[in-house]
Amino acid sequence: MRPEILFPLFAPVTALPGVGPRFGKLLERLTGPAVIDLLWHLPDGIIDRSFTPTIKAAPNGAVATIKLTVDAHLKPRHPRQPYRVRCRDETGFLHLVYFHVKGDWLDKLLPVGETRWVSGRMEHFNNEIQITHPDHVLAPDEFARMKPNEPVYGLTSGLPLRTVQKSVDAALARLPALPEWQEPSLLRQRQWMPWAAALAAAHAPGNAAELLPEAPARQRLAYDELLANQLAIALVRAHTKRLPGRSIKGAGTLRQKVLDNLPFSLTASQRQALAEIAGDMASPARMLRLLQGDVGSGKTVVALLAMLDAVEAGAQAALMAPTEILARQHFATLGKLAHASGVEIALLTGREKGRTRDALLQRLADGGIGIAVGTHALFQDDVIFGDLALAVIDEQHRFGVEQRIALSGKGSGVDILVMTATPIPRSLMLTSYGDLDASRLTEKPAGRQKVTTRTLPLDRLDEVIDAARRALEQGARIYWICPLVEESELVDLAAADERAAQLRAIFGERVGLVHGRLKGAEKDRVMAGFATGAIDLLVATTVVEVGVDVPEATVMVVEHAERFGLAQLHQLRGRIGRGDKPSACLLLYAQPLGETAKARLKILRESDDGFRIAEEDLRLRGAGEVLGTRQSGMPELRLADLAAHADLLAVARDDARLALSRDPALESPRGQALRTLLYLFQRDQAVKYLRSG
């Protein structure tokens, strides 16, 4: 249960004065449903209202705060005309201009003959000076209340800045006196203020420097969030490690049969990863390991050899993939690789129905199938394993933690191996995968060809089509990627359709089209055609991003490359260069290019190191975008910037481990304060693990 002291912060935003249902909905869309969500929405700019010139001295376009006497109300003859209030000081006249005025509120706000302080943007218009809809109109005794620097917030359509400012002020007034959860020595060393003071300071920046992630108030808040994150991860990890596991050891006979028949030898990092996995599986504690390797670094082989160890020990293994295309790809690849071992491998997706499915489920339940490959269909209720000992989850960031737990619940003491071809920056590893041990595959398999990457403006499309013609004449196969942006899926689908039609008109039936809306069987038919060479040029949306393996494909064209993230472009590029022929990737962009897009494309031209690319992607785009946090069930960071606060992350990790080693149940005074911190950042699940400890 959330502590009562936090109730005012978790009240709905409509509990704040002046926030009714209409503004409540808009605030909820902008920041989230609770008062605390609004407080985490920090300002991204400031308006300086300290400039107090005379009317004559106020330049056009400047934000000025001027002391005026109200001279006359010039009411419009027609409702569509503006309402003007003429004001003056010792240097001249100025008009305050209002549109759509109803009632007599302006007469009350600006009584003739009275003095008012008015703040807004100066406009010189038709030889007159005016302010349209001033931001502030204050009586002399109210003037002291106006902030000389006013925070500016990111907004959503229909929500005025003034409403957000007033709502934040009201939210700050609700801050309870919370016990300090940080070590006094750290606060002294970093010269950080208490939590509530830091939050108030972050919402009242005095200058541009105080908006930066390095500002002390923002650093303090970021550290609070990172500490909550690291505490939660440490608690989840400790809970998982306490669950009963089992020791899985094979003699290595099945593994050796496969190794003897491989056309290549394992790389040093593949051998290292296998040793780490075998050690985890042999130990009585549960394995929770992340295997990350760049595109084409040979994760599938490592996973297969680990699964064969489980089968040899008399148990079963399962591999779960995020899409049907990828599941079928794994099934085909594993079938070829595992042939020498004689182990039966089965495929289970949403498409297997009726008797076929029933027979498959029966073979799984009686242990006849050694390795099952599938989509999320694997953890449906009617899927029962005889004895599942190892679950391999591919492209982990597409699945939430719940799905990981659901699959591990299909057996007793199931070891979990998570794989990703999206290289993960170290800081993101700690915040999102800190409950996992990690193995990295750093080399490419022998014989892999380097991919040459070039960038071209879209207006040179004709040259690209000519180059595609020459490549096809020489026997190449080509991926042609059209972007897919969720908000405009149909528009982009039309663009992919149109491009496929244009290319068919030039190259005939050698052109295929695949996208997310195709039915499974049709998608498979097109992909199979591309793999066998019946189709030479495949127009596709990003469904080919992960796992599709056609070694003969040596050319990739990506349209609107500026729309993609770095890691995603790197993933796409990894679909080529998988055979023994040189490969080329052409990134087409629309002009003009923004600075970030320019930097992204430059890095791709220069590097094929997925780990460097991932670090740069994090720096350029932020953590939420790199792994699609919002879709993956991973905690989203609201205050910490992983690129700017990487040093704080390491400190938070050590602090969390030390705090739990001294006080595992968080019962000391600091422990109780840390519990409050976990609730404050909505890591309630982690507190449950404390209790069940």
Residue pLDDT, tens place only, 20-78 = 999 999 999 999 999 999 999 999 999 999 999 999 999 999 999 999 999 999 999 88
192-219: average pLDDT: 96
Q: Which of 189, 329, 309 is nearest to 259 (CA)?
A: 309
Q: Which of 51, 48, 30 is nearest to 39 (CA)?
A: 30
| pLDDT bracket for residue 688 (50, 70, 90) | confident
Region 253-441: CATH code: 3.40.50.300
What per-residue confidence (pLDDT) applies to 472? Answer: 94
Q: How far apart are CA 337 and CA 238, in angstroms?
A: 36
Name the fold adopted by 50-146: OB fold (Dihydrolipoamide Acetyltransferase, E2P) (2.40.50)
Estimate to the nearest angstrom the gap between the alpha carbon of 68 and the chain centroid.
50
Residues ≥6 apart with Cβ < 8 Å to 242? 693
- Structure tokens that stand for 29 in this block: 């869309």
What per-residue confidence (pLDDT) applies to 405? Answer: 65
- CA 286-291-294 angle, 5° bins: 175
Residues ≥6 apart with Cβ < 8 Å to 302? 270, 273, 274, 277, 291, 441
What per-residue confidence (pLDDT) applies to 685? Answer: 76
Burial per residue of 591-627, b for 16 or more beta-carbon CB atoms within 10 angstroms, e otherwise: eebeeebeebbebbeeebebbbbbbbbbbbbebebbb
**SS3 per residue for 179-200:** CCCCCHHHHHHHCCCCHHHHHH
Which string of DSSP letters, residue by residue, matches 421-432? SS---HHHHHHH
What per-residue confidence (pLDDT) applies to 595? Answer: 85
Q: What is the pLDDT of residues 429-483, one digit of tens each?
A: 777 677 678 898 888 766 677 789 999 999 999 999 999 999 999 999 999 998 7
Say yes or no to pLDDT of 622 above 60: no
Name the fold adopted by 451-607: Rossmann fold (3.40.50)
- When the pLDDT of each residue in the chain is averaged and rounded to a whole number, the result is 88
Q: What is the pLDDT of residues 369-385, one digit of tens each?
A: 999 999 888 878 889 99
Q: What is the dihedral of CA 250, 252, 254, 258, to 10 degrees?
A: 140
CB atoms within 10 A of CB 189: 9
